[in-house]
Structure 1
């Protein structure tokens, strides 16, 4: 896997940048970022030696390599000179649209979302659909629920879409329509719609995806399916992922992996937010104690000054 990956890196990635496919999950693959600032334009990527246990155990999870194999100069996101649009260009565009600082615990989420979505977008045969939009809406609503700068959230989501050459307003509308459609149906009805289609446009859409042998699966599409499971009143788990994947003729392994990654990432985010909340509470407590101590000293100094003023009068 490492040999294949190095060959792909040489073919696809610009010199001195390194592997643009796998720098998010540094312990899965053989490249990682060497940086001081996650969003610095001076980022440099270098290959590192990954323990053989991970290269063997996680071999099937290298979705980045699969996407790179499917990429070519004729795919859906070319640049002006006709070459494949790179991850670096997508992140650069995002920084142009969104110039506000991002809290540290959300930076990795933003960058991982940009990278994984970019890799899906540049794959040959990728097609946008409402399930993909619902997955994006799910990620932004769940992972950024406690984002401290509420007034900047919509701008952040829109900037990510612009960097990925997606229409944020259309995605919100499509996700909302699919959400309402799913809420009004049971899991059995949805699976039947996937298998048979019908007069319903969304049912026909899901049926066409199931019949499309060249359909390109993406993580946001998988999370859109997870959200649909929840909306129709069912728990998203391994067994249900296999059932939906079988109906859609997609890889159940990928869907289960994305569900597992989503759940683990959400748990880590909750722990990080709790830690930051505790640290903030401690800082506020220390600040309050300092202010109280300062007020106490000021009061004592004022009392001393008052005593000094009254002592000469009493002696007279």
Structure 2
């Protein structure tokens, strides 16, 4: 009988691979992402696909934007993927492939992907991935898949993505992919909301660090004259 790995197992493996401390507000981001990926990895219906990979890399890159030191990001991402049984290299490669394909498409083509992409040779990897999902009756939908799908649509849009039009396109794609429409909508709304909240938290943290730095400099400036006064001999 196979032993099902636990969240604790994943966390232990992660921190064994990435041994440097993670900045406070980002630690929660990483651990929540890790839990989400782990629970999918132990679900019998879950199958890794390139849209999911794009969702993972996009979520990681956007939620970890501004992290310092930047040099730690590759190590954190590698540990995150490996801890849940994924290959970080494959994840990045699959995500990049879809990103490249999406930039050559239009939202209209994506809305009717099942017919519009059939004859587009360059879009074959995306078409194959979506077709496999559409014909998989037991496909395990996830928030990370939704983020990946949304990212494909973002990349296919030359200008800023119109949210109303995006919802229409995603609804059309959702129908042919047999996705839960309401859950898809709510997951993406929550994703955008969390990005906004994290951005605000980063600003608050940056302000706090700046205030702390100024206080420290002021204390040092006040101490300097006293330290330089010669003592009576």
Q: Please, what TM-score do these two structures have when normalized by structure 2?
A: 0.89
Residue 194 of structure 1 deviates from its aligned partner by: 3.1
> Do 2:113 and 2:173's aligned partners in 1 also have CA atoms closer than 8 Å?
no
One of 33, 55, 58 as aligned partner of 1:135: 55
Residue 255 of structure 1 deviates from its aligned partner by: 1.2
One of 219, 226, 235 as aligned partner of 2:143: 219
> Do 1:194 and 1:210's aligned partners in 2 also have CA atoms closer than 8 Å?
no
Bigger Rg, which one: 1
- Asked if residue 281 in structure 1 is aligned to residue 210 in structure 2, the reply is yes
Structure 2 partner of 1:235: 162
Structure 1 partner of 2:11: 91
- Asked if residue 208 in structure 1 is aligned to residue 132 in structure 2, the reply is yes
CA distance in 1, matches of 2:13, 2:125: 34
Structure 1 partner of 2:73: 153
Q: For structure 1, list consecutive stretches of 5 or more residues without a partner in the other structure.
A: 1-80, 310-316
Aligned length: 224
CA distance in 2, matches of 1:189, 1:240: 10
Equivalent residues in 2 for 1:259-278 (5 A)?
259-278=188-207
Structure 2 partner of 1:246: 175
Higher relative contact order (CA 8 A, sep 6+): 2
Deviations 1:85-120 (A, max 9, x none): 222211121121111111110111111101111112
> Do 1:161 and 1:168's aligned partners in 2 also have CA atoms closer than 8 Å?
yes
> Do 1:195 and 1:247's aligned partners in 2 also have CA atoms closer than 8 Å?
no
Q: Please, what TM-score do these two structures have when normalized by structure 1?
A: 0.67
- Please give the root-mean-square deviation of Cα atoms over the aligned residues, in Å: 1.8
Residue 218 of structure 1 deviates from its aligned partner by: 1.5
Structure 2 partner of 1:291: 220
Deviations 1:272-299 (A, max 9, x none): 1111111111111111111111122234
> Do 2:110 and 2:116's aligned partners in 1 also have CA atoms closer than 8 Å?
no
Deviations 1:122-157 (A, max 9, x none): 222211111111111111111111112211110000
Q: For structure 2, list consecutive stretches of 5 or more residues without a partner in the other structure.
A: none
Structure 2 partner of 1:256: 185
Equivalent residues in 2 for 1:23-42 (5 A)?
none
CA distance in 1, matches of 2:114, 2:224: 69
**Range moving further from structure 2, 249-258 or 150-159:** 249-258
